Structures are given as structure tokens and as C-alpha cells.
Amino acid sequence: MAPTLPTPSSNTITLSLPHPHVLLVTLSRPKALNSISTAGHHDLDAIWTWMDNEPSIRVGILTGSGRAFCAGADLKEWNSTVQTPNQPSQARTMPPTGFGGLSRRSGKKPIICAVNGLCLGGGCEMVLNADMVIASSQAYFGLPEVQRGVVAWAGALPRLGRIVGRQRAMEMALTGRKVPAEEAARWGIVNEVVDDSKKGVVERAVEVAVQIAGNSPDAVLVSREGVKLGWEGVGAEEATGMLIQEWSEKLNQGENIKEGLRAFVEKRKPVWRDSKL
């Protein structure tokens, strides 16, 4: 099924559909290690907004071209801004959804980061707010901002401690050390590490995305919201109450719950409709 809404475009980002319900977003500045400029943040924000509104897309994947996933902010641009009087801080030039439109995003639909190489600074900030992370065995993760006199403003610092614990978060934030993929997996940053000699990281991410896209689109959206409500600091009981209040009747009146239960009774595979939630 082709997208029904006009597709956004960017000079530094490539969009493709490896599956009818999966959007692959590739950062395409390999010579700059896929660092993201101010314009790039807004381009990505527009892409994720389009994905959330496009009925045919159910899962997004973000990856990089070349040897890096994303090395963070465009430091040449940042330096130019810092050296110019009365310019706003970099944190204030980003969209409300943060670095790459992802590091502070709430959104509706899941995003998988397929980390193909270096994942530093803002690249790591995006990963820490992704829904799932598949990493190459050659990938490294780090927050080297302190080595340049800057700070990871875009949401990583409060999230990092929840994911890896206070002491490990302090280690990453205060030393700038790069953490290898296998270690990042043990810490809980990465879901799965892919051996590049056997399978590409994007190929594996597409497999996972297709698995998600094969489930009820409505149930995926609401399940994701339930996890995020609890993870973002709301208590378990409050999150459950909010989820039921906001979503239970909408889900119950939708086409996909009826189709899923009917297919079970009829012993067949369900045919899902694009979500209208």
C-alpha cells in the first residue's frame, strides 16, 4: 500500500519503504559522520510527524550511512553560533521533540534505531528515547559533550539514569567514554547486537519492524503508550488508570480488536486495518 499523504523531503535524509508498513529513515551525511544540523532536526521532526499521520506506516527505523549512525550535532555550525553574539543556545533551536525530532518525542508509532556504527552525543540521545535499539557489533555509544565544553541538553541525562542506573549514567555523562555495543546491551541500552559477518543491522531491524507491523496496529499504539506512561515517571496505578480512561473504549470500538478476536475463533490469520486511533 502506497502512502496517502505527501512524503516529506530532505537534502540530508533518505526515505524508503523496505516493507509496505515500515518506513526506513537513513541519515545521509557520511562524510560528516551523519551529524545533524539545525535544519536537519526540523526535517526529522517533520518526517516523524508525517509517519504518525500516515495511515499505512506502522513502524519507523532510523539508521545512518557509512561508518556512523550519528556523531551528534554539527559542531562546525554550533561553533559558528557560539562565536556570534546574541545567538540562541543550540538547545533552543531544536523542535520541541528534541534532537533529530526523536530525543524528546512522545509520538504515536514505534521507532527502532538500527545503530550501524558510531553513536555519539545527540545520536546517543536519540537512541535513549527510541522504542527499540538493534546495534551492529561494531557500534559504540557515548556522550562526549563534556570533552567539548557542552552538555547533552536534549533529554539524555534524565533518561540515561533510568535505563542504566545512576553510577553508569554518571560514568558516561562525566567521562565521555565510548561504550561498545555488547556492553551497552548488558546495560540495557541495546535490545540486540547483530554480528555484521552474518546479517546487516538494518536487515535485522526490518525483520523486527515487520514482526511489529504484523500485529494489530491499534493494540501496538496503545501498548506502547502504556509502557511510556509508566516509564516517564507516572506511577504504575496512575499510568494504568490513564491508559484505560484514554484508550480502552477507543480500542474496544475499533475494527482491529473485532478482527483479531474473530480471526482467533475462525482459526485464521487476522487481516489488520490501518489504525484510526
All residues at 6 or more sequence positions from 31 whose CB lies less than 8 Å from its CB, including other chains: 66
Helix axes 255-265, 217-231, angle to 10 degrees: 110
Nearest to 230 by CA among 241, 246, 216: 241
Q: How far is 181 from 119, CA to CA, in rounded Å?
A: 10
Nearest to 114 by CA among 161, 70, 61: 61
Measure the N-to-C terminal CA separation of the chain; round to a whole number of Å. 19
Look up 125 and say whether it is catalytic.
Answer: yes
3-state secondary structure of 74: coil
C-alpha count within 13 angstroms, C-beta hemisphere, residue 176: 10
| Catalytic-labelled residue, pool 54, 77, 125, 237 | 125
All residues at 6 or more sequence positions from 110 whose CB lies less than 8 Å from its CB, including other chains: 59, 60, 131, 132, 212, 220, 224
Look up 246 and say whether it is catalytic.
Answer: no
| Catalytic-labelled residue, pool 54, 77, 145, 171 | 145
- The strand pair at 59-64 and 111-115 is best described as parallel
The residues with which 250 forms a beta bridge, in sequence order, are none
Query: Can you give the C-alpha Rg of the chain in angstroms?
Result: 19
Catalytic positions, please? 125, 145
